[in-house]
């Protein structure tokens, strides 16, 4: 199971890097919505890593970052997720509070899968926004990555 998650996070890193490159190379055409969605994707990844790690949440999920900060945030998130995969039993239940102050419990396995699924969801929104701006969207299908 851990190897499967390592592979998913390698995919996530790679595709996010492609999105970063696309945003940088199309800086004049990328919309604020695209920047906001990608910021959120990266912020949420950081927040979920912090919850697994038991650390305080230091960023709002909708804080907008600069495109210049995306590559580094993506890499830091990736490295932290890999570290968490290595040191934790994925069946461990994590107690956490969401951004609305409600308490929940989920396994680390479920949280890790949520990070991947959440990222995929928002990359699809980013692809749509890019198309609407005349930018060729990044091909982010997992099966294409695996080929």
The answer to whether the beta carbons of residues 85 and 5 sit under 8 Å apart is yes
| Cα separation values, 99 from 62, 91, 143, Å | 11, 23, 33
Query: If we measure between CA atoms, which residue out of 105, 125, 145 comes closest to residue 40?
Result: 125
Query: If we measure between CA atoms, which residue out of 115, 142, 146, 123 comes closest to residue 22?
Result: 123
Q: Tell me the pTM.
A: 0.96
List the domain boundaries for the chain: 2-146
Q: Which two tokens stand for residue 109?
A: 């396995």
CATH topology for 2-146 is 1.20.120
Query: If we measure between CA atoms, which residue out of 109, 125, 101 comes closest to residue 41?
Result: 125
Confidence of residue 44 (pLDDT cuts 50, 70, 90): very high
Helix H or strand E segment including 30: none
User: 45-95, pLDDT tens digit by residue?
Assistant: 999 999 999 999 999 999 999 999 999 999 999 999 999 999 999 999 999
């Amino acid at each position: 199971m851990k190897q499967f998650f390592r592979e998913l996070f390698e995919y996530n890193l790679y595709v996010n890097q492609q999105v970063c490159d696309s945003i940088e190379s199309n800086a004049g055409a990328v919309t604020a919505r695209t920047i906001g969605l990608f910021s959120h994707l990266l912020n949420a990844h950081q927040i979920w890593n912090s919850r697994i790690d038991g650390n305080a949440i230091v960023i709002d999920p909708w804080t907008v970052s600069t495109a210049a900060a995306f590559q580094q945030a993506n890499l830091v998130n990736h490295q932290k997720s890999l570290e968490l995969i290595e040191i934790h039993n994925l069946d461990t239940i994590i107690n956490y509070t969401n951004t609305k102050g409600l308490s929940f419990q989920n396994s680390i396995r479920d949280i890790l899968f949520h990070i991947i699924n959440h990222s995929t969801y928002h990359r699809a929104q980013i692809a749509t926004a890019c198309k609407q701006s005349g930018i060729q969207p990044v091909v982010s299908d997992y099966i294409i990555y695996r080929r």
